[in-house]
A and B are shown apart, each in its own frame.
Chain A
Amino acid sequence: MSFIILQDAFFIAVLAALSVPLGLYIYKVMDGRRVFLSRVLAPVEKAVYRVCSVRPGEEMRPRKYALSVVAFSAAGFLFLFLLQLLQGFLPLNPEGLKSVSWHLAFNTAASFVSNTNWQAYAGESTMTYLTQALGLTVQNFVSAATGIAVLFVLIRGFAMKQAETVGSFWADLTRVTLYVLIPLSIVSSVLLISQGVVQTLSPYHAAASLQDGARLTVPLGPAASQIAIKQLGTNGGGFFGANSAFPLENPTPFSNFIETLSLLIIPAALCVTFGKAVKDGRQGRSVYAVMLILFIASLIVITVSERFLAPHFGSVAAFGNMEGKEVMNGVGASSLWGASTTAASNGAVNATPDSFTPLGGMVMMFLMQLGEIVFGGVGSGLYGMIAFVMLTVFIAGLMVGRTPEYLGKKIEPFDMKMVCLLILAPPLLTLIGAAAAALMPGAQNWLNNTGAHGFSEILYAFTSMANNNGSAFAGFDANTAFTNITGGVVMLLVRFIPILATIFLAGNLARKKTVAAGEGTLSTSNATFVGLLLGVILIIGALSFLPSLALGPIADFLTH
């Protein structure tokens, strides 16, 4: 246990230490300044603009920015959908894999374009190297970059005064991808390959087993390059079916540390960027503090539950719940990953969530149900959190009878409508999706576990999809036409409704004048406000989900 505490403390210290320089770097990049990588990347950036015949300085109004995001995502969706349908006839398919069924292709395209990376398939037996590299790897990058771009629209909404435009989507997208995501992914990929993560275009390797010479297959592929961005971009879709539990995707304690750190580093750094961009570091620190408090509390509950609430079996020497966990990670690193991957809307796993103890699994589910704002997705986590901040300011304003304001902008009816869309879309779609699935005749045939845990499998699936997370209680048979189609629609709605709401909210804020902070202005950077914000987040999460959690994990815990 002392090793577990030590490694958790070390992890949080490294995360906090790295998030500051990275956050300041991202600020410079998004502000259009020169950085140390500009020598190499500025020519590439210029070339991209030239090829696409776009002037990077051309500012967009909110409507045009929103249309650009939608059109760009639609192009990506269509390409990925068709690539899967045609992969059987295309090159780089050494294993002779067939084309994907239309409903699975729809689900996967929706899932990767929406930065969810829910997977109703196992990569090594379904996707060709071509689909993995040209389709899935590319969406890992650009869906993450889209989230960060939209966050910057909101930041500009606060920073600008009486402005009609909110930046250029093409410049935001290009700069995030080239200066932030690609360099970090290259560093991470090389470290992962040095640990034994595979990276090759050779066919799967056939070998013989030692004991009886039985035929073995070593699945291969261009994996490390995709795994690096899958972790960094809060994507989470495994190159292999078992995700980062699979040794060729995550072979050593060091690779596991790098991958876990990658889950949270960009969302954490963006809090620092936010403080810098609104010229008040304390505003960034207060949302960072709220995220850290919720994260650490969840980590403690998951770890204690996995370590001490595992069942005891006769004549077995137990040291916690090892079902579904790798020896190299044990209870400690598996719990740390579990908390990180559900706090961030990542969804990669290094152990099977289905086999976590009831309370451990419930906390992972609840972290998603809070709306993926405890770090959350890259960009999307912070714009979701800012929506909660505005809601909190609004509620506090109602209590004292003053017009609420945040960062010098008055918060008015249109702003609150957008905030409500941002906050309410995920829980509504989670509950509607889970209820629809539970009512389907034959739903019990999709389940691996029975009783309350079986219901948890359904609830987890729709929680994961309706919050763009992507992890699963994998006993649930996800590859059915019903789940592929409803899940695909849910993932797209829950990604693009908040994105559009954020852009229009930002446009409305940018048009306003700034009001000077006065005597009666509510401080949004002190401990009282941190407490208030925590309260609002937990109350909304609990009101939305306690009834369904009671039917699933809580019943599971109480009846065993």
Chain B
Amino acid sequence: MKSLLKQLRPAVLFFLAFTVVCGVAYTGVLTGIARLAFRHKADGSVITVTLKDGSKREYGSALLAQEFTEPRYLIGRPMTVSNLSPVSGEQARLVAQRTAWWRELDPENTADIPADLVTASGSGADPYISPKAAEYQAARIAKARGMAEGEVLAVIRKYTKGRFLGFIGEPGVNVLMVNLALDGLI
């Protein structure tokens, strides 16, 4: 115990030194770099739109999903985190419930529903859907807005991010950006 106490002085001093180096200096320098070089991204990629009357309005982060339910909007993934086993009965019930919701929203569309639209993501805030899931909704959006389906598909394509280097990760359509574009805000 006496020898442990003897080690305490350097232990406390080193701990305080590293709290300054790693906690204050390191965090501070990176926050500074972020502010100077990547301010928009470091502050959460918040979308600011200048409206026709010249006022500015913020529509949340381009990286966080928002709830859309109306037929004229592109609709994203369920905004919950289930932590359910994919083979559980509860999961089967939830998927069936979501499938029924999609069928009711768009009765004319009899195609199979892409899986990402009826499964929850890990964050509950997935801003992307797969290109197939966006194309599945194009005809319905076009009808609700009185647009041509081709125009809707063009907007979807514009806000589709490809794979990194062409083969890493999966392509995704940013739901919020598509909807802002459809509303003529960006």
Give chain A's interface residues, CB within 8 Å of chain B.
3, 6-7, 10, 44, 48, 51-54, 63-64, 67-68, 70-72, 74-76, 79, 133-135, 137-138, 141-142, 170, 173-174, 177-178, 182, 185-186, 189-190, 193-202, 205, 207-211, 214, 216, 218, 220, 222, 224-226, 229, 242, 245-248, 251-254, 256-257, 310-311, 313-330, 332-333, 349-352, 354-358, 448-450, 453, 473-475, 556, 560
Q: How many A-B residue pairs have CB under 8 A?
A: 344
| Contact A253-B122, Cβ < 8 Å, known A207-B46, A328-B128 | no
Partner of A333, one of B35, B161, B170, B183: B170
Q: Is the CB of A317 within 8 A of B114?
A: yes
Partner of B122, one of A51, A52, A324: A324
**What are the interface flags for B93-113 relative to A under an 8 Å C-beta threshold, 1 for contact and 0 otherwise?**
001100100010000000111
Q: Is the CB of B164 within 8 A of A133?
A: no
What is the CA–CA distance of A134 and B28 in the complex, to the nearest angstrom?
A: 11
Q: Is the CB of B115 within 8 A of A327?
A: no
Partner of A242, one of B34, B42, B63, B124: B124
* B152 sits at the interface (CB 8 A): no
With a cutoff of 8 Å between Cβ atoms, the chain B residues found around residue A560 in the complex are: 87-88
Q: Is the CB of B66 within 8 A of A52?
A: no
**What are the interface flags for B21-45 relative to A under an 8 Å C-beta threshold, 1 for contact and 0 otherwise?**
1111011011101110110011111
What is the CA–CA distance of A379 and B73 in the complex, to the nearest angstrom?
A: 51
Partner of B168, one of A52, A185, A257, A448: A257
A395 to chain B minimum Cβ distance, whole angstroms, is 37
| Contact A556-B15, Cβ < 8 Å, known A198-B43, A208-B57 | no
Q: Is the CB of B41 within 8 A of A321?
A: no
Q: Is the CB of B38 within 8 A of A310?
A: no
A-B contact pairs, 24 of them (CB 8 A): A63-B3, A177-B22, A196-B45, A198-B41, A198-B42, A205-B43, A208-B58, A210-B185, A211-B69, A216-B64, A218-B60, A225-B31, A252-B161, A257-B168, A311-B91, A314-B96, A317-B113, A320-B115, A323-B82, A324-B86, A326-B126, A355-B122, A475-B83, A560-B87
Q: Is the CB of A64 within 8 A of B85?
A: no
Partner of B116, one of A64, A247, A322: A322
Q: Is the CB of B42 within 8 A of A142?
A: no
* B55 sits at the interface (CB 8 A): no
Extra contacts besides A323-B82, A449-B83 (10): CB < 8 Å: A138-B23, A177-B22, A185-B26, A196-B45, A201-B31, A220-B44, A242-B122, A315-B112, A323-B120, A328-B161
The 10 A-B residue pairs whose C-beta atoms are closest, nearest first, are: A253-B169, A245-B122, A475-B83, A330-B170, A71-B11, A317-B112, A199-B34, A253-B164, A560-B87, A52-B13
| Contact A247-B126, Cβ < 8 Å, known A194-B41, A205-B46, A209-B60 | yes
With a cutoff of 8 Å between Cβ atoms, the chain A residues found around residue B99 in the complex are: 313-316
Q: Is the CB of A202 within 8 A of B128?
A: no
Partner of A328, one of B111, B172, B180: B172
B100 to chain A minimum Cβ distance, whole angstroms, is 10
Q: Is the CB of B24 within 8 A of A134?
A: yes
Q: Is the CB of A133 within 8 A of B23?
A: yes
| Contact A322-B115, Cβ < 8 Å, known A245-B121, A327-B126, A350-B122 | yes
Give chain B's interface residues, CB within 8 Å of chain A.
3-4, 7-8, 10-15, 17-19, 21-24, 26-27, 29-31, 33-35, 37-38, 41-46, 57-61, 63-64, 66-70, 73, 77, 81-88, 90-92, 95-96, 99, 103, 111-116, 118-130, 132, 161, 163-164, 167-170, 172, 176, 179-180, 183, 185
| Contact A194-B38, Cβ < 8 Å, known A48-B17, A210-B66, A246-B125 | yes
| Contact A327-B77, Cβ < 8 Å, known A193-B42, A475-B83 | yes
B17 to chain A minimum Cβ distance, whole angstroms, is 5
With a cutoff of 8 Å between Cβ atoms, the chain A residues found around residue B8 in the complex are: 71, 75
With a cutoff of 8 Å between Cβ atoms, the chain A residues found around residue B41 in the complex are: 193-198
Q: Is the CB of A3 within 8 A of B14?
A: no
Q: Give the interface SS of chain B, mostly helix, strand, loop or mixed.
A: mixed
With a cutoff of 8 Å between Cβ atoms, the chain A residues found around residue B91 in the complex are: 311, 323
| Contact A224-B66, Cβ < 8 Å, known A134-B24, A316-B115 | no
B4 to chain A minimum Cβ distance, whole angstroms, is 6
What is the CA–CA distance of A311 and B91 in the complex, to the nearest angstrom?
A: 10
Closest to B183 in A: A210
| Contact A222-B95, Cβ < 8 Å, known A216-B66, A330-B169 | no
Q: Is the CB of B18 within 8 A of A138?
A: yes
Partner of A329, one of B23, B27, B33, B169: B169
| Contact A218-B4, Cβ < 8 Å, known A316-B95, A449-B85 | no
Q: Is the CB of A207 within 8 A of B60?
A: yes
Q: Is the CB of A141 within 8 A of B122?
A: no
A2 to chain B minimum Cβ distance, whole angstroms, is 9
What is the CA–CA distance of A355 and B41 in the complex, to the nearest angstrom?
A: 30
Closest to A223 in B: B42
Q: Is the CB of A170 within 8 A of B45?
A: no
Partner of B170, one of A48, A173, A328, A474: A328
With a cutoff of 8 Å between Cβ atoms, the chain B residues found around residue A352 in the complex are: 81-83, 122
| Contact A354-B83, Cβ < 8 Å, known A193-B41, A218-B44, A245-B121 | yes
With a cutoff of 8 Å between Cβ atoms, the chain B residues found around residue A225 in the complex are: 26-27, 30-31
What is the CA–CA distance of A53 and B179 in the complex, to the nearest angstrom?
A: 61
B84 to chain A minimum Cβ distance, whole angstroms, is 6
Closest to B15 in A: A75
Partner of A199, one of B7, B22, B31, B63: B31
B13 to chain A minimum Cβ distance, whole angstroms, is 4
